[in-house]
Amino acid sequence: MILYFSASGNTEYIAKLLAKELDDECIDMNERIRTNDYTRVFSKKPFVICTPVYVCDMPTFVREYIKRLPFRGNRKVYYVFTSGGYAGMSGTTAKKLTVRKNMIYMGHAELTMPSNHIVSNAYPPTEPDECRRRISDSSGRISGIAYAIKHGEKLTARHVYLFEKLVILPFNPIWVRYMQPSKDFRTTDKCVGCGKCSRVCPINNIQMIEKRPVWGERCAHCMACILGCPFEAIEYADITPCKDKYNIRKYVSLKDI
Binding site for ligand FMN (CB under 6 A): 6-12, 52-56, 82-86, 88, 113-117, 221-223
Of 46 and 114, nearer to ligand FMN (C-beta) is: 114
Distance CA 142, CA 164 (A): 27
Choice between 100 and 163, CB closer to ligand FMN? 163
Pick the closest to residue 19 from 40, 46, 42, 37 (CA basis). Answer: 46
Q: Rounded CA gap, 213 and 230, in Å? A: 14
Contact between 137 and 109 under an 8 Å Cβ cutoff? The reply is no
Name which of 105, 97, 110 is nearest 50 in CA terms.
Answer: 110
In the complex, minimum distance from the CB of residue 166 to ligand FMN, in angstroms, rounded to a whole number: 16
Quote the least distance from Cβ 78 to ligand FMN, whole Å: 17
Q: Which is nearer to ligand FMN, 60 or 74 (CB)?
A: 60
Could you tell me the smallest distance in angstroms from the CB atom of residue 204 to ligand FMN? 17
Whether the Cβ atoms of residue 52 and residue 7 lie closer than 8 Å to each other: yes
Q: Which of 110, 75, 74, 76 is nearest to 92 (CA)?
A: 110
Min dist CB 148 to ligand FMN, Å, is: 21
